[in-house]
Structure 1
Amino acid sequence: MNEALLRALPRARRYARALAGNQEAGDALVREALMALRESPPPGDGPTVMLALYRAVSAQVKDAAGEPGGLSVVERQVLLLTALEGLGHEAAGLVLGRTGDEVAAKAAAARERLREGARADVLIVEDEPIIAMDLGQLVAACGHRVAGIAATQAEAVALARSLNPTLILADINLGMGGDGKSAVAEILREMTVPVIFVTAYPERLLTGEAVEPAFVVTKPFDPMTLAIATYQAVTGGLRLS
């Protein structure tokens, strides 16, 4: 595998996992994409290779109308590529085989319907009070309810047990209060709940070497990025079969 592909893998994993709704299915998409690119290696520099890998992942998922009132496959892809991965409309169009204008129209339509999607009771795990308050406001702006806010690892586990949230939004570093990943791991031993990790260093979570999160949002982020990630997490991503 060439160096450009290796550098592109963390972002491809993030996109594929968010698209599929879980780590296992997302990583399977990436493996299939790499096999396809092995047959026809992408030429050019890093950005060109990154787009080729996004395209190979996207090509494995057929477009469909989605659930009534929900987003179609291509709308999910457009939102994930533009908001989560930061591509412009033209670049996302190259990935999806559409024009930049088509991508812009799909994105606008999807944003209009996004708040009508699944609602969640969210447990926020964040040790900085101001950041936790900001996250709570973003969660509410996305149409969800803040079930509780935990500042430490122990508090996160206790609140998860008592509140039974339908989504967890967790920072990685909880300062003196422990570790967000460890808190989530303990919670997931007792219940099944989707988790979105918030971090300034997503590549540290996307190495492919251990159990990793399905959803990673990079700091700083805007409300639309969080809205898309929560929609994917709560709805379980795409049905791939």
Structure 2
Amino acid sequence: MPFQISPLLESDTAAFARAEAAAAENWPYAQAMKTAGTPRHIFVEEWARKQIGADKTVHWLKATDTETGELVGAALWKIPDGGAAEMGQADVPVQATALTPADKKADAGGIRHNGGSPDEMEDMGGNAALFASTEKMWRAFEAEYIGTRPYALLQLLLTHPDHQRRGAGTMLVRWGCERADAAGLMCALSSSAAGQKVYTQQGFEIVVEEEYDLKPYGVDAVEVRRRMIRPAKSAAR
């Protein structure tokens, strides 16, 4: 395997922030996050350092190149204790199943964020109004399509541009899907066009598309987000 999935530690936050900044460089939503001239990676590093370990249901993961040790991707999976009390960080590192050529082709990389309160995301150098709007749209989707059912949420997925289409993103997505399956949980996420294919190959289905008008936040762009759900599998016996 070219990559290993393991917990992202506080000592990894600088590398994580650099990878996140590279992945988000051309992302309009990221451009709407006001940083007052401070490099984005500094805000992201400080945010990650504060958040790692703060919520025991959020699993911070990294994908590292097994030859160089370089951090090439990362993910945040939020898996509720009610459905996955036994699935902690001790479950990683893992030996992922083999990636097919189709997996690697689908793994376009990039970045996506989902969830997080406006106050938490403000620590990331963001625009509180932007994040409040994002959170409101997600909660409306959650209320209509998920309801009160527990689910595993892929909050963030990123792959460094230099390592896209090599399968790291697929491994990070599969990590959470396998644990959700073991607990009989559905999965949900919000996807850009770039990330859609890797998610559909792991069983996610688009249920609704929504637009973010970023003009009120200083960026002349409208971003389409695809809300996706992966149905719950039967819990392993």
Structure with greater helix percent = 1
Question: Which TM class, normalised by the smaller chain length?
Answer: under 0.3
- TM-score, normalised via structure 2 length: 0.26
Structure with greater strand percent = 2
- TM-score, normalised via structure 1 length: 0.25
